[in-house]
Structure 1
Amino acid sequence: MKKEFRIKKNEEFSVVFKKGKSVANRQFVLYVLHKEEQSNFRLGLSVSKKVGNAVTRNRIKRLIREVFHQYEENLNQKKDFVVIARNPTAEMDFHEVKKSLLHVMKLARVINKSAE
């Protein structure tokens, strides 16, 4: 992902956590914050050490990024997203991650219903 699509700084994460809305299922927590001044969405990822070792955590982050990449034209663009992966994601394959993430995105109403 390009730099302008990423949330990296701790302060940026904190703003999304404090001011954004959250939606969750068993695998993911999605925080969404609307930002009118942005031209495109930004994504922040959080995968705890409790989920697995570095290889597992990086794999999960790659899968999440890929789902957002596939659906970027269906997403509301002027938003910041922070995805927190929970423990069950360590054993999931790409299709399971995609299905679970789409479920959370639809609950948060940030993706079109026809996006599947």
Structure 2
Amino acid sequence: MRRKEQRSNLSITDSTERRFNLPKSHRLSGKKNFEELFNSSSFFATSKITLRFVIHSEASRKFLAGFIAPKRIGNAVERVRVKRLLREAYRLNQHLITDLSPSCTFAVHYAFVARHSDIDFKAAQKDVSYLLRKLREHVISKTSAQ
């Protein structure tokens, strides 16, 4: 049996420590949420990924992310692989948008929609970080105008 790796005893004193986890409570789920997202949303797109989003005025709804791979991409194996790549790319770059949450009085629901199955991790990470930066700029400009 393999032994668990011990955590290091090094304590991080920097208060700007970023957590790179993505718990299920931060994922967008439920038919109602996805219907709302697709019926009344805006979007940004790259050649391989589309980001659909809705800004809510209620802060209690928080930031929730969804990951979609439509059936036209390919079989189930390809769709699962693409969603896994999108989740990992988002997990590493989520700080670009979630750093807004302590001072904000709004919530954002968004979903990454894959357009092709021939995406690799570098391309997914590049596109996801670009889309999150665009979303951040849009949210900041939208909320500062109010």
Using the size of structure 1 for normalisation, the TM-score is 0.79
Hey, what does 1:62 align to over in structure 2? 84
Q: Which has the higher contact order (CA 8 A, sep 6+)?
A: 1
Structure 1 position 16 matched with structure 2 position 37: yes
Identity over aligned pairs, percent: 25
Q: 1:97 aligns with which of 107, 116, 124?
A: 124
Q: 2:136 aligns with which of 87, 91, 109?
A: 109
Question: Which residues in structure 2 correspond to 1:16-95 (within 5 Å)?
Answer: 16-35=37-56, 36-38=58-60, 40-76=62-98, 77=101, 78-87=107-116, 90-95=117-122
Q: What stretches of structure 1 of length at least 5 have no aligned partner? A: 112-116
Q: In structure 2, what residue type is equivalent to 1:63?
A: L
Q: In structure 2, what residue type is equivalent to 1:18?
A: N
Kept after mapping to 2: 8 A contact 1:75/1:110? no
Aligned CA RMSD, in angstroms, stands at 2.1
Aligned mates of 1:65, 1:32 — CA distance in 2: 16
Kept after mapping to 2: 8 A contact 1:38/1:79? no
Aligned mates of 1:73, 1:109 — CA distance in 2: 10
Q: What is the CA distance between 1:40 and its match in structure 2?
A: 4.1
Q: Larger Cα Rg: Structure 1 or Structure 2?
A: 2
Q: What stretches of structure 2 of length at least 5 have no aligned partner? A: 1-21, 102-106, 139-146
Q: In structure 2, what residue type is equivalent to 1:81?
A: Y
Using the size of structure 2 for normalisation, the TM-score is 0.64
- How many residue pairs match? The answer is 109
